[in-house]
Amino acid sequence: MVLGADKGRATVVMDKTEYQQKMCALLSDSKTYEKLDRDPTPKHKRELVSILHRLEKDDKIKKADKQFLYPTSENVPRIYGSPKIHKDGTPLRPIVDFTGSIGYNVAKSLADILSPIVGQSEHHVLKKKSLAEDLKDVTLEEDEILNSHDVVALLPVHPLISLFIYSEKDLTRTKISKTEHSSLLMTL
């Protein structure tokens, strides 16, 4: 298989069997992924349609916006792995492609709403160097520790984290409340 590397714009040629084994191993991690009995897409589509109807009825979105956000297909998001050539054993970084899924246009719209305020939160770290610079003058007390965590599976929680670090006043570009944004996110 010919794949794009996770970093460095390199191209990787990987044995198809090895790729499939690594993807199966990645997806069998029950702490990160859950095997479902059935496809939840129709349920999420009904929930999304219900929210869109309510937002239009409450005059929070225009008819044209509802038509843009309305899910017209039920494509299931596709997962694939991007080889991390900078790590031993070349593990795969999971990438979920939402293109054509029921929540694709909603995700694009929410990203547009949040994009002007990204980086404005006190919790935002632009680069590792800026974090190191910020921590340079921090003095820990004897009973304190500094702890860092490597984020292994960011995708399932990232949109919610992004939304909850912002206040209602940050979302003034839209009539949709923070709670309604959260409801939309939960349908993705």
pLDDT in tens, 105-133: 888 887 777 777 666 666 666 666 677 77
Q: Stretch 144-154: mean pLDDT, rounded?
A: 62
Average pLDDT, the chain: 80
Q: Which of 7-11, 60-64, 150-154 has the lowest mean pLDDT?
A: 150-154
Return the DSSP state at 117: G
Alpha carbon 50 to its chain centroid, in Å, reads: 22
Residue 180 — pLDDT band, cuts 50, 70, 90?
A: confident
Residue 154 confidence (pLDDT): 47
> Can you read off the two tokens belonging to residue 116?
């002007």
Residue-level length of the chain: 188
DSSP 170: G
SS3 of residue 61 by DSSP: coil
Question: Using an 8 Å Cβ cutoff, are 73 and 100 in contact?
Answer: yes
pLDDT above 80 (res 156) = no
Residue 179: C-alpha distances to residues 77, 164, 175 (Å): 25, 10, 11
Rounded-to-integer distance, Cα 90 and Cα 6, Å: 10
Residue 159 has phi, psi (to 5 degrees) of -60, -40
Mean pLDDT of 80-89: 92
Contact of 68 with 105, CB cutoff 8 Å: yes
Whose tokens are 């225009």? That residue is 62
Least confident of 120-134, 146-160, 167-181: 146-160
Average pLDDT over residues 17-34: 93
Task: Using the predicted structure, report yes or no on whether residue 144 has a pLDDT greater than 50.
Answer: yes
Chain segment 28-59, per-residue pLDDT in tens: 999 888 899 999 999 989 999 999 999 999 99
How far apart are alpha carbons 182 and 179 in whole angstroms? Answer: 5
Of 10-14, 44-48, 94-98, where does mean pLDDT reach its minimum? 94-98
Q: Are 61 and 53 in contact (CB under 8 A)?
A: no
SS3 101: strand
pLDDT band with cut points at 50, 70 and 90 for residue 155: very low
Runs of H (alpha helix) within 5-137:
16-27, 41-57, 63-69, 104-114, 128-135
